[in-house]
């Protein structure tokens, strides 16, 4: 366990607010980083060959199953080699980008990352989820209860992969570009500033936990 694994699923590159906040974390992380950009290099969606490969003796794998197993093995080895995790997962249409769901489906493998007698293989390791969104989804907002990104990820990453998850949600990212939302720009700027501040703080917290 020697590096931070950054899984980035934003399609906007340098314009991504999620990625910009992640940069604040990485700039304050003292150690190597392995970054996988799923938008630029997506992993395959889980298909029948990948599912069958998990319960078939490797010696009896078809070529398709062997190829699918090789993808899973590479991603799982990369995941388990990390000591901490940074996930850039913006909200797209109320949920996570499909490329991130594809990555999850490839790494959540019984007897690989979970299903061990003593719990998930990465139990207790810290993870930060950064999920920017165009509107507001907190209490008293019209969209409250419609965030299907962070609650789902906190459950999956903790309950299935054993990670200790912290989430940051810079909101109202559409306010500066949609005229009808101009009055919300101050709230967006406050949310963004707080997210950058928390990202820097969490980098220090993670360093302490990994070193302990």
Name the pTM for this structure.
0.95
Per-residue pLDDT tens listing for the chain (212 residues): 589 999 999 999 999 999 999 999 999 999 999 999 999 999 999 999 999 999 999 999 999 999 999 999 999 999 999 999 999 999 999 999 999 999 999 999 998 999 888 899 999 999 999 999 999 999 989 999 999 999 999 999 999 999 999 999 999 999 999 999 999 999 999 999 999 999 999 999 999 888 76
Q: What is the CATH number of the domain that holds 110?
A: 3.40.50.360
DSSP state letter for 149: S
DSSP state letter for 180: G
Q: Between the CA of residue 93 and those of 26, 122, 195, what are the distances in Å? A: 27, 30, 21
* Of 119, 130, 136, nearest in space to 90 by CA: 130
Pairwise CA distance, residues 130 & 91, whole Å: 10
Q: List, in sequence order, every residue forming a beta bridge with 167; answer none if it has no partner.
A: 129
Pairwise CA distance, residues 36 & 19, whole Å: 12
Q: What is the CA radius of gyration of the chain?
A: 18
Q: How many domains does the chain have?
A: 1
Structural domain that includes position 24: 3-211
Indicate the Cα dihedral angle 18, 19, 23, 26, nearest 10°. 90
């Amino acid at each position: 366990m020697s590096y931070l694994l950054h899984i980035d699923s934003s399609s906007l590159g340098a314009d991504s607010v999620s990625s910009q906040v992640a940069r604040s974390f990485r700039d304050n992380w003292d150690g190597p980083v392995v970054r996988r950009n799923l938008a630029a290099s997506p992993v395959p969606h889980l298909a029948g060959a990948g599912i069958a490969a998990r319960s078939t003796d490797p010696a009896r794998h078809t070529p398709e199953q062997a190829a699918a197993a090789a993808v899973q093995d590479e991603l799982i080895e990369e995941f388990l080699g990390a000591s901490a995790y940074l996930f850039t997962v913006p909200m797209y249409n109320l949920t996570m980008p499909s490329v991130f769901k594809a990555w999850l489906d490839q790494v959540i493998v019984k007897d690989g990352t979970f299903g061990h007698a003593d719990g998930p293989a990465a139990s207790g390791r810290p993870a930060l989820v950064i999920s920017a969104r165009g509107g507001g989804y907190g209490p008293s907002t019209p969209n409250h209860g419609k965030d299907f990104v962070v609650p789902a990820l906190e459950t999956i990453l903790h309950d299935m992969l054993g990670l200790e998850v912290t989430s940051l949600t810079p909101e109202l990212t559409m306010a500066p570009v949609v005229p009808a939302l101009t009055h919300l720009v101050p709230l967006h700027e406050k949310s963004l500033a707080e997210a950058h501040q928390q990202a820097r703080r969490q980098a220090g917290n993670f360093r302490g936990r990994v070193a302990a």
